């Protein structure tokens, strides 16, 4: 692709393509292409000017080669990139703002006064009707104040003031709607499905297939803990499905043959074979947008309190205006009071602050499902951390397979991988990856598998009962015996590794040694969290006391609990909340889901189990736990911004009312200062909370 360099500084290029403008599709294609390279840290494409800005961490020549290698004709871009693009939405609102400004000032220059007066009167009808509708609903809201002020201005012949009021109201409404919609859409895009592989049922058995290759009429298998990737109908199986993301139901729903299921819902228990009726890109994004817009979870308690206060202040503004007229008999002074209200600014600045904070969090790969969870994180004094996949690396590795029978280590690993490949856990992935690296093919050897949360897996392999999982599950629950001649080997298993036990027909066959080292950043993150005000930092794990203590000591955590079950984690969170503490839970697995759901704010690791991400209120990147520290910073700064906005709005508007009553400010000036300050505060609320690095 040909291009010219318009501007360049170290690590940043702005290039121009040889065209007047790009279509939305072309701009999305180029942006997706540029962002697909690890060397490019940030890329932004501007369709109106056919420009692209690239921020990079590599050599300049490499970036130029990347840009040259792009072609609109050969670019491979997933359909969901275009479906979820917010580019067209932003362009529409930008055009609306420009048109509003051009029309408002253009008509003043072009239209004679008589036509301008008619135009203003006709336009005022819409705002007056909005105010009347609030009376029909028996509610006194800011729309009524606007209607009375505009009506008074028209009746007194002050058409310039009436026109200015309506112009500022229109600009404010457009900015609020644009920011809200853009923030919601950004959040929805991050919550959209991102399932790369599914299990396709064929005549030869289950085959792992790219989700993009699935068509209507295919049958896919979804097991416990996994997300249902497509809308469809259950053809076989039975399961409890969490549908809260689509329907709002908090209790899992039983699904069986012949019943419909929705993309984005999660199988909590059981297994389903689904006949696909709609593939990805068939309206799921719109469903998520609707769910977010309707959810009260977007509102923090401070935000809700401010909005309720805003509505309660409307009658007092009306009363102040009436008293002003009664004592002064001056319509201008009374209208000046009506020009100022607390409601407009409170209802604009507060939601914008919250939605902008959610959007800013997305820039750090943190997905927050609502403002109240940011408030919970800001006020929390206790944080509970899962160990495996959270404090330890998201990708544990198999170090060694110790055989306890005559079968080879590779054969035992192959059988273990066959069982583990269906389940969403970091240890399961480690086993599957180890078999894959050795080239061990593990076709379906087993019958139907049963996953026991936080314990392990049970099935039959070649008509032998097989179990794989923790010590508690294999030896205590299943009663597996260690071969007499191998007890010495068992006792000498190294302590520095996690142990995964595999048994058949009640006899131990293998112990798979898993290296699960702590993340490098954990100790620093724990120290930062302690400085940020977390009084209780707790680690909980199903691992042994010995392994748990080792990790806790390395992380600098003094309070930890070992060999806990999922219900134990949830009970700890509930007990802490009963003591008056605000609790944040961080986890990544199915076994963390109960605790995530009962905490004040549940945080899931992005590459963890689907059900954990679905239940959690917040999702952070798996690459760096420092996201928790950033989340706390954003949350605390958001609460400070909301309080600042509240004090500023009340103080400034009270001053305007006082100046209006004193006759110092005219209605037009009051309207300009009030609406101008509201828009300015709204724009300020849209800025990032964290300083740029």
* pLDDT attached to residue 193: 46
Query: Could you give phi then psi for residue 10, rounded to 5 degrees?
Result: -60, 120
What is the topology classification, in CATH, of domain 366-393+518-622?
Rossmann fold (3.40.50)
Cα(237)–Cα(223) distance, integer angstroms: 10
Q: What's the whole-number mean pLDDT along residues 130-140? A: 76
Report the share of the chain in percent with pLDDT over 90.
Answer: 20
* pLDDT attached to residue 525: 94
pLDDT greater than 70 at residue 430: yes
**Cα 424–chain centre separation:** 20
In this predicted model, which residue has the larger pLDDT, 3 or 289?
Answer: 3
Cα(331)–Cα(151) distance, integer angstroms: 12
Most confident of the following: 350-359, 440-449, 631-640: 631-640
* pLDDT attached to residue 356: 82
Instruction: Work out the pLDDT band at 166, boundaries 50, 70, 90.
Output: confident
Most confident of the following: 94-103, 398-407, 680-689: 398-407
* pLDDT attached to residue 246: 56
Give per-residue burial for 670-686: e unless 16+ CB within 10 Å, then b: bbbbbbebbbebbebbb
- Report DSSP state, residue 7: E
* pLDDT attached to residue 542: 77
| DSSP of 586-629 | EE-SGGGHHHHHHSSEEEEETTS-HHHHHH-SEEE-SS-THHHH
| DSSP of 127-194 | HHHHHHHHHHTT---HHHHHHHHHHHHHHTT-HHHHHHHHHHHHHHHHHHHHHHHHHHHHHHHHHS--
Identify the burial level of 105 via C-beta atoms within 10 angstroms of its C-beta, where 0-12 means exposed, 13-18 middle and 19 or more buried.
exposed
* pLDDT attached to residue 496: 74
* pLDDT attached to residue 296: 43
pLDDT greater than 70 at residue 610: no
* pLDDT attached to residue 165: 75
Q: What's the whole-number mean pLDDT along residues 189-216? A: 73
Cα(353)–Cα(52) distance, integer angstroms: 29
* pLDDT attached to residue 693: 54
Enumerate the domain spans of the chain: 4-77, 92-188+296-354+637-685, 197-279, 366-393+518-622, 397-515
* pLDDT attached to residue 301: 61
- pLDDT digit string, tens, across residues 630-678: 999 999 999 999 889 888 888 888 888 788 777 787 766 777 787 778 7
Cβ neighbours of 462 (radius 10 Å): 10
Cα(460)–Cα(468) distance, integer angstroms: 11
* pLDDT attached to residue 262: 81
* pLDDT attached to residue 282: 45
In this predicted model, which residue has the larger pLDDT, 612 or 503?
Answer: 503
Identify the burial level of 111 via C-beta atoms within 10 angstroms of its C-beta, where 0-12 means exposed, 13-18 middle and 19 or more buried.
middle
Report the share of the chain in percent with pLDDT over 70.
Answer: 84
Instruction: Work out the pLDDT band at 287, boundaries 50, 70, 90.
Output: low
Superfamily grouping for domain 397-515: Calcium-transporting ATPase, cytoplasmic domain N (3.40.1110.10)
Instruction: Work out the pLDDT band at 187, boundaries 50, 70, 90.
Output: low
CA end-to-end distance (rounded Å), the chain: 33
- pLDDT digit string, tens, across residues 226-264: 778 888 899 998 888 877 655 545 567 888 899 888 877
Q: What's the whole-number mean pLDDT along residues 423-438? A: 81
Identify the burial level of 319 via C-beta atoms within 10 angstroms of its C-beta, where 0-12 means exposed, 13-18 middle and 19 or more buried.
exposed
In this predicted model, which residue has the larger pLDDT, 452 or 270?
Answer: 270
* pLDDT attached to residue 514: 86
What is the topology classification, in CATH, of domain 4-77?
Alpha-Beta Plaits (3.30.70)
Of the candidate CATH numbers 3.30.70.100, 3.10.310.10, 2.70.150.10, 3.90.245.10, the domain formed by 197-279 belongs to: 2.70.150.10
- Facing residues of 242 across strands? 266
Q: Choose the weakest-confidence range: 127-131, 275-279, 608-612.
A: 608-612
pLDDT greater than 90 at residue 381: yes
pLDDT greater than 80 at residue 48: yes
Cα(302)–Cα(330) distance, integer angstroms: 38
* pLDDT attached to residue 295: 47
In this predicted model, which residue has the larger pLDDT, 262 or 125?
Answer: 125
Average pLDDT, the chain: 81
In this predicted model, which residue has the larger pLDDT, 503 or 460?
Answer: 503
pLDDT greater than 70 at residue 581: yes
* pLDDT attached to residue 297: 47
pLDDT greater than 90 at residue 401: yes
∠ CA 464-465-468 to the nearest 5 degrees?
Answer: 125
User: Which secondary structure element, helix H or strand E, spans residue 43, and what is its range?
Assistant: strand 40-46
Tokens of 344: 């407009």
Three-class DSSP category at 261: strand
Query: Could you give phi then psi for residue 333, rounded to 5 degrees?
Result: -65, -40
Instruction: Work out the pLDDT band at 154, boundaries 50, 70, 90.
Output: confident
Given a contact cutoff of 8 angstroms between Cβ atoms, the answer to whether 430 and 398 are in contact is yes
Tokens of 434: 């180890």
In this predicted model, which residue has the larger pLDDT, 613 or 564?
Answer: 564
In this predicted model, which residue has the larger pLDDT, 592 or 402?
Answer: 402
* pLDDT attached to residue 499: 86
pLDDT greater than 80 at residue 290: no
What does each C-alpha distance from 404 to 484, 486, 501 come to in angstroms?
10, 6, 10
Tokens of 625: 């736990």
């Amino acid at each position: 692709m040909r291009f010219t360099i318009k501007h360049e500084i170290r690590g940043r290029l702005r290039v121009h393509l040889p065209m007047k403008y790009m279509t939305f599709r072309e701009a999305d294609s180029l942006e997706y292409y540029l962002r697909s390279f690890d060397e490019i840290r940030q890329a932004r494409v501007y369709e109106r000017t056919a420009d692209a800005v690239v921020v990079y961490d590599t050599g300049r020549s490499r970036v130029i080669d990347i840009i040259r290698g792009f072609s609109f004709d050969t670019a491979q871009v997933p359909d969901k990139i275009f479906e979820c693009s917010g580019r067209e939405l932003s362009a529409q609102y930008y055009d609306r703002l420009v048109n509003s400004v051009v029309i408002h000032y253009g008509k003043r220059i072009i239209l004679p006064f008589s036509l301008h007066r008619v135009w203003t009167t006709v336009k005022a009808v819409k705002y007056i009707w909005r105010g009347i509708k609030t009376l029909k609903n028996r509610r006194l809201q800011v729309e009524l104040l606007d209607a009375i002020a505009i009506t008074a201005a028209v009746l007194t012949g002050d058409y310039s003031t009436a026109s200015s009021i309506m112009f500022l109201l229109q600009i404010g409404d457009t900015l609020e709607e644009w920011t809200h919609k853009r923030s919601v859409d950004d959040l929805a895009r991050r919550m959209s499905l991102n399932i790369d592989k599914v299990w396709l049922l064929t005549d030869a058995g289950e085959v792992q297939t790219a989700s993009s290759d699935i068509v209507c009429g295919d049958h896919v298998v979804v097991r416990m803990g996994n997300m249902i990737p497509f809308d469809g109908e259950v053809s076989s199986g039975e399961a409890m499905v969490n549908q809260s993301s689509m329907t709002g139901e908090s209790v899992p729903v039983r699904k069986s043959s012949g019943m419909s299921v929705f993309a984005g819902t999660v199988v909590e228990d059981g297994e389903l074979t689904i006949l696909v009726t709609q593939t990805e890109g068939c309206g799921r994004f719109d469903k998520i947008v609707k769910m977010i817009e309707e959810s009260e979870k977007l509102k923090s308690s401070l935000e809700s309190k401010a909005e309720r206060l805003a509505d309660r202040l409307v009658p007092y503004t009306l009363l102040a205006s009436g008293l002003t007229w009664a004592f002064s008999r001056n319509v201008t002074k009374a209208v000046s009071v009506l020009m100022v209200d607390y409601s407009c600014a409170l209802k604009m600045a507060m939601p914008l602050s919250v939605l902008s904070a959610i959007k800013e969090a997305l820039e750090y790969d943190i997905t927050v499902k609502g403002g109240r969870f940011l408030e919970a994180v800001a006020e929390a004094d206790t944080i509970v951390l899962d160990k495996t996949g959270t404090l330890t690396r998201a990708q544990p590795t198999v170090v060694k397979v110790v055989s306890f029978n005559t079968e080879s280590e590779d054969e035992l690993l192959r059988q273990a991988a066959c069982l583990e490949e269906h389940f969403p856990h970091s240890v399961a992935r480690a086993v599957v990856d180890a078999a894959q690296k050795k080239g061990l093919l593990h076709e379906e050897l087993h019958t139907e598998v049963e996953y026991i949360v936080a314990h392990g897996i049970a099935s039959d392999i070649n008509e032998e009962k097989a179990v794989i999982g923790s010590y508690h599950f294999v030896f205590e629950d299943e009663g597996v015996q260690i071969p007499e001649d191998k007890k010495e080997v068992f006792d000498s298993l190294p302590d520095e590794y996690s142990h995964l036990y595999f048994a058949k027909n009640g006899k131990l066959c293998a112990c798979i040694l898993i290296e699960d080292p702590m993340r490098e950043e954990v100790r620093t993150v724990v120290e930062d969290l302690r400085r940020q005000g977390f009084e209780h930092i707790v680690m909980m794990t199903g691992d042994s006391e010995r392994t748990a203590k080792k990790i806790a000591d390395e992380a600098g955590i003094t309070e930890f609990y070992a060999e806990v079950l999922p219900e134990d984690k949830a009970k700890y969170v509930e007990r802490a909340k009963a003591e008056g503490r605000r609790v944040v839970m961080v986890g990544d697995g199915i076994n963390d889901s109960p605790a995530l759901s009962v905490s004040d704010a549940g945080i899931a690791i992005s590459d963890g189990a689907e059900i954990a991400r679905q239940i959690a209120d917040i999702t952070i990147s798996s690459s760096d736990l420092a996201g928790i520290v950033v989340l706390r910073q954003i949350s605390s700064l958001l609460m400070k911004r909301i309080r600042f906005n509240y004090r500023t709005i009340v103080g400034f508007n009270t001053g305007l009312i006082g100046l209006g009553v004193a006759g110092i400010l005219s209605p037009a000036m009051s309207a300009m200062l009030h609406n101008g300050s509201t828009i300015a505060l709204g724009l300020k609320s849209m800025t990032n909370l964290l300083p740029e690095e």
